[in-house]
Structure 1
């Protein structure tokens, strides 16, 4: 995935193409825990020849690639713009992973003729020699791609992580610099682009909806309101977004259009139930061509988005405590925050507190409670004035507490100022609970 080479693993999927949900994952983990002697078990594992001879085994051939590509191409929205700007210069890096062939293939099929791969990062290599972490959300990971884009005059840089589910984007600004878009900015641009194109051509389906997460940008709210579409929030992780898609599309007969989370995962269309960097790259490139067709850059489009829906100051911080003691302190801190949710946070003026461990949302002014309908999770979400929010949760993979902030309004400086104040208050409180 996007992790350093020291972390190897796999994802487990169910029959619907989504990652296993909590209950199924727990059952799978319980079966894995029963394995006491791994070397002995591995000796009993069928050989490659025996495995491929099994009636349960089948190769995925070109027919699957074609079906996947055809599905993605059916979601495209600006064919004339791509035809006109087919030579839009694009630099792409697969970061030594699986995106190399499918991303370049789908861009070519859609008509893009000027796509350049970063040669040093083109071929599979699990040691990731040019970057310590093949994470496309980090500026250092895109250094080679940005240098190549600067040298050849490209305006768009895209990179996918090794398993091609996360997508990073860098764009040229008016002062001829490259900036890395945040996960929220990419998601908001795609959401607004898709809804705008469908709405302006009277193709917005009945029951249309999008899905995001409780820690992602709240500018999805005014965007969905503008186009009259549904908007649902899930817990972090695309397996939870997939559940919301199933709930509102399969059970309630809605029409899913787009889903994203701030950690650089996007899904355009309902062809799969996980974040898909191949489809994301296709739509980002098309959006860049459409912007050029309207005489603007992607940076211009982003600035216009903020002018239309409001300014945003968003940030995620991680507070680490190493070792077994660190994990114990993190658990203690979450318990104390849950027991005394307002202590130290009075200046935040929180309006509601959603405790996903107890599935309870409390109005902090009246004390009135309502039941949350998402799965239980060790997460505290504070809704502040307007659509500002602050969310705290422990990491599921590292010894740290993650805190997410979102501040919104007409004045960007005012948003930045509030975010800095929120961050200072939270750091004081959490560090006090965690100790040295």
Structure 2
């Protein structure tokens, strides 16, 4: 029996409900719950809810909060007085965790600003900036299954912590004693005695005002005959989007009412991920009944957005690259029409996002810069250009359905996109075009771009080691041909080197265990392992003159890469 298990059962800081859960565990469950500490990584902490050191619960959250409090205290009195904002979404235990974190920070003399009701990740990001806080936290597990929750920590600029600061926070948490040894605090007493302040209406209105500013032509939007349906998928964004619809007076904009209220069980869904067609099931049913043109779904914490377009016979879902290309072109073309396109405009995308965005931006005289996967790297770049005024931010996006139109938030903001997507669809609707037809028009101008993601999970304790060995084998191979085309660039983001034939240059992005190949026909392939589980992802992008050619090439490269990596992984 685990020593930690016995210690938790004996601890006065572990409540009776959790002890009851512990007593009912099997030997195998005890081993899984205590064999390691749930990791607090550079992006925060996420895991299955339950008792044990390898689970997310009040005790493990309390330990993380103490580490964060110690880090903030080490930064001086100004950091403590500027304070910390906490928001949470609809998930199980989210409110309880928010109160636990608030109690710990408040008892350490740190000013705490706390939302009482579920709010979105982008509003948390905005709130840090609006209140000039030192840090903040979002309690969410995004679109993971109901049994998950997590903590995401943000810096003073409203972006997720950069790598350097994240490492300091992780180090501070690791210095804290075991979770079961830390005394629990009463939130009601902490609220009375500590500097904890509820926030809500004022910040809601300020955020909504900023979101409303993404509209280019409100008068035209208010005259549209486009029909739109929105669903927050039982998450935190429903009340915000409803308030925005009232504020902007967007006509023919309706809601999936059965999914508008926060629900920790996601009772009408099999998946709360807007990348999955199943997430649109109720919206599609309602859309067919109401003859609706556009369906928009936002994930539980309001940072990712997906859309489906009526094609005349059915709804077609757009992927993240397709949506990103449409929105980017719309933003740049609207700025150009209104004479507001800056001469030093810049767009940020991740290294695994379609190259179509670069082509579009270039046609408008706008620079595109790549960052590593993770929206915090886009936030970091926005902060840099604010300081030196070298560029004017115009758009940031990633293939995994995350977009940012205006940088008053510094994480991906699906709420901005709900408004912008509706305006964009209304703009094309006025020209008797659907978004699918608008996308086809872009393909005629820039060529057809298609992308594919292959995800491989290797079960067992040796999975992560197999993946690392495979990547090392790829590095040593120095491949010159791939899927019938010559490799013209090989980029190793761990050694930060790009090799082109006999030439070599330094990459400027932070080190990351990612490999990318660029081929002579414009195809690219990126290999990226997961940082938290034994999984490796193959990202593939192609460009051809026709959709048929692009799909054929995409399938061909996908089969080649899959077979090649099976040998490397020894599957």
Same fold (TM over 0.5): yes
Pair 1:398–1:131, CA change in 2 (3 A): farther
Deviation at 1:346, TM superposition (A): 6.7
Pair 1:63–1:399, CA change in 2 (3 A): same
Q: Within 5 Å, give how 1:11-410 maps onto structure 2.
A: 11-41=152-182, 43-51=183-191, 53-55=193-195, 57-85=196-224, 88-173=226-311, 175-342=312-479, 345=482, 347-363=484-500, 365=501, 367-410=502-545
- Give SS of 2:154's match: coil
Deviation at 1:257, TM superposition (A): 1.3
- Give SS of 2:363's match: helix
Pair 1:154–1:49, CA change in 2 (3 A): farther
Of the structure 1 ranges 164-173 and 139-148, higher mean CA displacement relative to structure 2 is found in 139-148
Report if the CA contact (8 A) 1:52-1:58 is conserved.
no
Report if the CA contact (8 A) 1:317-1:404 is conserved.
yes
* CA-based RMSD: 1.7
Quick check: which has more Rg, 1 or 2? 2
Partners of 2:301 and 2:189 in 1: how far apart?
A: 26
Report if the CA contact (8 A) 2:325-2:357 is conserved.
yes
Partners of 1:406 and 1:224 in 2: how far apart?
A: 18
Of the structure 1 ranges 302-311 and 271-280, higher mean CA displacement relative to structure 2 is found in 302-311
Of the structure 1 ranges 405-414 and 338-347, higher mean CA displacement relative to structure 2 is found in 338-347
Per-residue CA deviations over 1:222-245 (Å, capped at 9, x if unaligned) read: 111111111111011100111122
Per-residue CA deviations over 1:54-110 (Å, capped at 9, x if unaligned) read: 23x33223221222122222221122321211x532111111111101122223322
Deviation at 1:213, TM superposition (A): 0.7
Pair 1:294–1:374, CA change in 2 (3 A): same
Deviation at 1:343, TM superposition (A): 7.3
Report if the CA contact (8 A) 2:269-2:278 is conserved.
yes
- Give SS of 1:39's match: helix
Pair 1:385–1:62, CA change in 2 (3 A): same
**Equivalent residue number for residue 135 of structure 2:** none
- Give SS of 2:226's match: coil
Of the structure 1 ranges 257-266 and 407-416, higher mean CA displacement relative to structure 2 is found in 407-416
Residue 7, structure 1, aligned to residue 142, structure 2 = no
Report if the CA contact (8 A) 1:344-1:429 is conserved.
no
Of the structure 1 ranges 25-34 and 228-237, higher mean CA displacement relative to structure 2 is found in 25-34
Report if the CA contact (8 A) 1:88-1:112 is conserved.
no
Of the structure 1 ranges 337-346 and 293-302, higher mean CA displacement relative to structure 2 is found in 337-346
- Give SS of 2:445's match: helix
Pair 1:285–1:329, CA change in 2 (3 A): same
Pair 1:387–1:269, CA change in 2 (3 A): farther
Report if the CA contact (8 A) 1:218-1:387 is conserved.
no
Deviation at 1:190, TM superposition (A): 0.5
Per-residue CA deviations over 1:294-336 (Å, capped at 9, x if unaligned) read: 2212222111111111101211110110121111111111111
- Give SS of 1:96's match: coil
Deviation at 1:49, TM superposition (A): 4.0
**Gaps (5+ residues) in structure 1?**
none
Partners of 2:542 and 2:356 in 1: how far apart?
A: 10
- Give SS of 2:206's match: helix
Partners of 2:354 and 2:192 in 1: how far apart?
A: 46
Partners of 2:481 and 2:222 in 1: how far apart?
A: 57
Of the structure 1 ranges 400-409 and 110-119, higher mean CA displacement relative to structure 2 is found in 110-119
Deviation at 1:162, TM superposition (A): 0.5
**Equivalent residue number for residue 568 of structure 2:** 433
Pair 1:297–1:332, CA change in 2 (3 A): same
Deviation at 1:247, TM superposition (A): 2.2
Partners of 2:374 and 2:287 in 1: how far apart?
A: 32
Per-residue CA deviations over 1:195-219 (Å, capped at 9, x if unaligned) read: 0000112111232111111100101
Deviation at 1:114, TM superposition (A): 2.5
Pair 1:386–1:345, CA change in 2 (3 A): closer
Deviation at 1:253, TM superposition (A): 3.6
Partners of 1:48 and 1:326 in 2: how far apart?
A: 46
- Give SS of 2:479's match: coil
More RCO (CA 8 Å, sep 6+):
1
Runs of 4+ off more than 6 Å = none
Partners of 1:333 and 1:52 in 2: how far apart?
A: 56
Report if the CA contact (8 A) 2:405-2:417 is conserved.
yes
